[in-house]
Every structure is written in structure tokens, then in C-alpha cells.
Amino acid sequence: MSAQAATTTIVFADICRSTQLFELYGDARAREIEAETLSLLIEKAEKYEGEIVKTIGDEVMCRFSKPEKAVFSACEMQRAVTRSPSLSPLNLAIRVGLHCGEVILEDNDVFGDAVNTAARMAGLAKAQQIITTQSTVDSLPAIMRHTVRNLGAIPVRGKKSPLVVCEVIWQEDTSDLTTQFETIKERTGRPPRLSLTYNDRQLEITVENQPFSLGRNPKSHLIVETRFVSRNHASIEYRQGKFVLTDSSTNGTYIYMNDGRKVFVHRESFPLYGEGKISLGHDSSESETIYFTFPE
């Protein structure tokens, strides 16, 4: 197989203090415990379409097409080990590290800096921890980021500069996040999306490209250049089955619902549902109105 470049998320999960198993239970029983644990980790990786790259002693290495799948899998790995009727009485624990980046795929193996970084994250993790990089967190859907705690910049072996690392809080059951995505897919026949129309432009906000920014800032996803609009006026992100507009402007935002309601939002949030109009900074004239549609 020729070498191929790809963007992927690498996960390392290993058994903590595995050498103690051999001291406590003897070689044969310790090997059984290791095999049962690794089998459980592989099962949770494959549940989220993870590809097992290799097992190395008491460690499994796998890769995922999307970082959110890797995070869901890592959380389930931790919960599965702590809840296993046969493993939990042994006070067994795992640690997990993951990172999303460019890799080289060659001969059923994976190489590159992203692999090394994921391994370093696993090395930083303590028992019952999932550690990742801020850059990986930034590539997650916004709805998932509340399950992550920033640990600050930490020196990492092999890196010239410290990396900002984060801990994924797996003790809070994240399975509802996947069901939110699936419920809306089943109801609408496609992933959740909010459609916007502004002048002659049509845009769609999905779980992949949010939070979505609006304002005079040239880097905004939707640039609205009028004197009432702030540079970073508002943003839209997907939360708990709704696309929510959050105003952070000087003049506020007007939202006109199709049921006749007019809502003024200033430094606060409001869910967008059904159909309606948005005006940034003042009561709208039709030429400056942003139309939105979100099928419920």
C-alpha cells in the first residue's frame, strides 16, 4: 500500500498500573484481565466506526474519521471499564489521550506528528482521565464543548512550545448528544440545519460549521455592513436541539417570528425556530433583513 496523507483523530487508551496485575493475580489471570479490558476498549471504538490500528501490550491505538466520534468512544471506554461487573471490583482504570491532525497512512499503520501528539496526551492523562488538545476541541461541534475543561498550556515532550490541553469530562453521560443528532435526522431526514437568506445570499448553518458569526467584522461568516451593526454583533450555535442566537452587540438584535411576535435580544440568547426574520441593530427595513428557516 502506498503512503497516503489524511486528517484523522488518533486515540490511545491503556490500562493503568498493569504490571501490578501480574503481581496481584499471577501471569495467567493478569493476561485474562488485560485481554478482557482491551476487548472492551475495541468494542467501544468500533461502535463509533473507529479503526483499530494496533494493540501494544496493555494499550490500544485506534483512529476515527471525525473527532466527535473519537470523544464519544473515549467516554464510553471509561464508563464501560468503571461499570463492568467483572473489572470494577478490581479497581482497574484506564487513561485515554487523543488528537486530531494530519497523518500518513501506510501498510495498515499510521505515522506522523498527530500520532506522537496523541501518545503524549495519553502520557499526560492520569487514571480515569481523557486528555486532548485545544486544537482538537476547536474542531468539535459546539454542543460538545461544555463537556471539556481547559487545563492551560503545558510543556509537551517533543514540542518547541507548550500545548493548550483539555480534559474531557466523561462522568457526565454524553449519550444524549448523539440522540439529539439522530432524533433530528429521523424527523427531518437530514442533519439539523438552519437556513439563512440575506439579500441575494443563501447560507446554511449545520452542526459542523457553527458557532456562526454575524457582524461587520470581515472575518464574520455573514458580514452585515450598516452603521447600527457591531463588529462582532451576534453568533448562532446549536444547543439541545435548537439553533440559538446570542447577541453581544451595542444596539441589540430584533427577531420577528412568523407567529407575529417581535423579540428584542440584547446581550442574551434566543432560540430560532420555525421561520422568521432577524435585524441587527435596529427595527428592520426589508433590504437589511436576514430571513431564517429551521424545520421543527
Has residue 197 got a pLDDT over 70? yes
In this structure, are 222 and 81 located in the same domain? no
In this structure, are 145 and 215 located in the same domain? no
pTM of the model: 0.60
C-alpha–C-alpha distance, residues 48 and 112, integer Å: 23
Has residue 185 got a pLDDT over 90? no
Residue 286, pLDDT score: 60
Has residue 188 got a pLDDT over 60? no
The total of structural domains in the chain comes to: 2
Q: What single string gives the DSSP state of each residue in 114-165?
A: HHHHHHHHHHH--TT-EEEEHHHHHTS-GGGGGGEEEEEEE--TT-SS-EEE
Residue 254, pLDDT score: 92
**Grid coordinates standing for 31?**
493476561
* DSSP 8-state secondary structure symbol assigned to residue 285: P
Has residue 126 got a pLDDT over 80? yes
Has residue 199 got a pLDDT over 70? yes
Residue 230, pLDDT score: 93
Range of the domain at 202: 190-294
Average pLDDT over residues 12-33: 91
Residue 178, pLDDT score: 53
Q: State the sign of the Cα–Cα–Cα–Cα dihedral 39, 41, 43, 45.
A: negative
In this structure, are 133 and 243 located in the same domain? no
Has residue 245 got a pLDDT over 80? yes
pLDDT tens readout for residues 90-105? 889 999 999 999 999 8
Residue 2, pLDDT score: 66
Q: What is the CATH number of the domain that holds 209?
A: 2.60.200.20
Q: What is the CATH number of the domain that holds 146?
A: 3.30.70.1230
C-alpha–C-alpha distance, residues 201 and 289, integer Å: 12
pLDDT level of residue 186 (50, 70, 90 thresholds): very low
Identify the residue with better confidence: 206 or 119: 119
In this structure, are 146 and 235 located in the same domain? no
Residue 285, pLDDT score: 53
What is the chain's mean pLDDT, rounded? 86
Has residue 177 got a pLDDT over 70? no
Residue 181, pLDDT score: 47
In this structure, are 44 and 166 located in the same domain? yes
Is residue 270 within 8 A of residue 255, CB to CB? The reply is yes
Rounded to 10 deg, the angle between the 18-47 and 67-83 helix axes is 130
Residue 190, pLDDT score: 57
Residues 6 or more apart in contact with residue 16 via CB below 8 angstroms: 92, 93, 94, 95, 127
